[in-house]
Structure 1
Amino acid sequence: MNDVASKVATLMEAMPYLKKYAGKVIVIKYGGNAMINEELKAAVLQDVVMLKLLGMKPVLSHGGGPGINKMLEKLDIPVQFINGLRYTSADIISVVEAVLIGQVNSELVGRINAIGGEAVGLSGISANIYKCVQRSEELGFVGDIVEVNAAPVQALLDAGYIPVVAPVGTDGNGQSFNINGDTAAGKLASALGAEKLMLLTDIEGLCNDIKIRDVISYLNIADVQGLKDQGTIAGGMIPKVDCCVQTIEEGVTNVHIIDGRKPHSILYEAFTNEGIGTTVGKDQPSVGIKWNK
């Protein structure tokens, strides 16, 4: 009976969120450790299907860096990073397309369908969803998104499907580009007018001190520059937070940086009072920041 009572209490707690998010678009950026751990992969995909069953319109925007690295190593193609971005030669962009579209995207679609969802796989090349320009000659075929054609994704959502989108873009003339996964998810969320963007990561959230894992629970974008100046936002967290800020400025209400290593973290964030990780927005003061004196 206690178990039943606990389940009922959980449903009652979720009720306001079910009402709030009914029919809303939720974009989930899926990457990192949650993609290589089978238990976590199953939990993430179950969460995505559950969002759909509960009346929301989830979109799964995935990465696949570990798979790309593994294939490049197998093919003996050297890997080079410049300012944190993968140099992408003609050989490497072919591998990126093969892994992200041919392997990762197909696998995710198949697994979602196997557990009762109806997923359709896409990439940014499909119908020029992600129109790109080359960032620089130095980086090779790394692209910056200059235009998002969200119509194909919206059409799938309206038809009741779960779109699964790979972060590969195009110049519209046959050249493909490698795109940062967080950036692609943020741009897609903005173009779809999403209610939420969830970025699954390999840490608990944005921390004041990564050594003690003290998470900043709410980050107002007005405080981002100050946190950069004092070194709290540094390294790989800089492009992730910059993506959050841009997404908020383009109209998405909240962006959540959550721990993809925690099973069912998507549902914890969506349907509980506590939430997890760091919420980025502009509607309330920051909570949990420790400013250097």
Structure 2
Amino acid sequence: MHLSALEKAEILVEALPYIKEFYGRTVVIKYGGAAMAKCDLKQKIMQDIVLMKYVGMNPIVVHGGGPEITQMLKRLGLKSEFVNGLRVTDRSTMEVVEMVLGGKVNKEIVAGLNANGGQAIGISGKDGSLIKARPVGDTAQMGYVGEVVQINPGIIETLIANNYIPVIAPIGIDENQDSYNINADLVASAIAAAMKADKLVLLTDVPGLLKDARDPSTLISVLKLSDVDQYIKDGTIAGGMLPKVDCCLEAVRAGVGRTHIIDGRVPHAILLEIFTKEGIGTMVVDE
């Protein structure tokens, strides 16, 4: 599709109210799924985040990396085991998780942002005691799978004050200096709450919350907190969508302005959600 100069100008003008509204505001982006796996999508997400920074927003990136972890474990001859969707993480697996998330994946994202004109710095939850964690459930069964106890946002605030884009690997640390593998959605939600962010954006591999999972035209564009229980009862919110909605609810209840579940497979998904009237996913709001 080729746009005329006038059409391009109209697109920029449409974005102007949103640029004004979110100037100086903080947006936490959970980056994962197909948007990380496919080179063309990855490039467009990098451009989106850098553009957000250039128009005066403060993006914070929290990333996953499950497929990369599985691939590395396989190369090292270690098996991947899951219980209720969580990766069983013994000490050897945790070393690989930390190497892949805090090393390979994190630095690739940092390099991608910098290559597109941004200034990004990669950290994990261990840096600056950012993410205090504790084990989830049965330690003997799950190992070093963690949940967030506390966010100490000082290091993020310092990076933003110096005009950097923080890129955060979801690794937490406990009082014994043990590392924990934490779900990136949970970390993004907790950081959004601690930073009093205006938006939390979760990139997924689905269009958003659908009334009929087989029909994209049944997208629920706005999900109110008061409607969540009914959607859970009737099965609209189920499976992998349930924990994502929970993360959004926790963030909204903690004071985050709005949360969004959007399709990371759509090119420039972040810009379309934030800077256009229609948006592309499901926005979760208090009322």
Q: TM over 0.5, yes or no?
A: yes
Separation in 1, partners of 2:103, 2:111 = 12
Alignment of 1:37-186 (within 5 A): 37-136=38-137, 137=139, 138-186=141-189
Q: Give the distance between the partners of 1:97 and 1:162, measured in 2 at CA.
A: 21
CA shift for structure 1 position 259? 0.4
- Counterpart position of 1:291: none
Deviations 1:140-164 (A, max 9, x none): 1011111000110011111101000
The residue aligned with 1:263 is 267
Q: 3-state DSSP class of the match of 2:259?
A: strand
| CA–CA separation in structure 2 for the residues paired with 1:140 and 1:235 | 24
The CA deviation string for residues 2-28 of structure 1, in whole angstroms up to 9 with x for no partner, is 711111111111111111000000111
- Between the two proteins, what is the percent identity of the paired residues? 46
The 8 Å contact of residues 268 and 275 in structure 1, kept in 2 or not, is answered as yes
Return the offset for 1:172. Answer: 3.6
Q: Partner letter of residue 92 of structure 1?
A: T
| 1: CA distance, partners of 2:3 / 2:266 | 25
Partner of 2:8: 7
Per-residue CA deviations over 1:55-75 (Å, capped at 9, x if unaligned) read 101111111011011111111
| Aligned equivalent of 1:203, options 201, 206, 215 | 206
**Stretches of structure 1 lacking an aligned partner (at least 5 in a row):** 284-293
SS in 1 for 2:80: coil
Question: Which residue of structure 1 aligns with residue 277 of structure 2?
Answer: 273
Structure 1, residues 79-113: CA drift from partner, whole Å, max 9, x if none? 11111111111111111100001100011111111
CA RMSD of aligned residues (A): 1.1
Query: Are residues 2 and 211 of structure 1, via their aligned partners in 2, closer, same or farther at CA, if it must alter by over 3 Å?
Result: closer
Distance 2:221 2:27 in 1: 20
Are the aligned partners of 1:128 and 1:172 in contact in 2 as well (CA < 8 Å)? no
2:36 and 2:157 map into 1 onto residues whose CA distance is: 25
> Is residue 247 from structure 1 mapped to residue 248 from structure 2 by the alignment?
no
Q: Deviations over 1:166-194 (max 9, x none)?
A: 00100043200000110000000111111
1:128 maps to a residue whose letter is S
Q: Tell me, in whole angstroms, the C-alpha distance in 1 between the residues paired with 2:283 and 2:263.
A: 12
Give the superposition deviation at 1:268: 0.4
Cα offset for 1:226?
1.2
Q: Is 109-118 or 39-48 further displaced after alignment?
A: 109-118
The separation in 1 between residues aligned to 2:158 and 2:21, in whole angstroms, is 22
In structure 1, give the amino acid aligned to 2:76: L
CA distance in 1, matches of 2:282, 2:98: 31
User: CA separation in 1, counterparts of 2:215 and 2:75?
Assistant: 37
Aligned equivalents of 1:60 and 1:261: distance in 2?
17
Q: Secondary structure at the match of 1:275?
A: coil
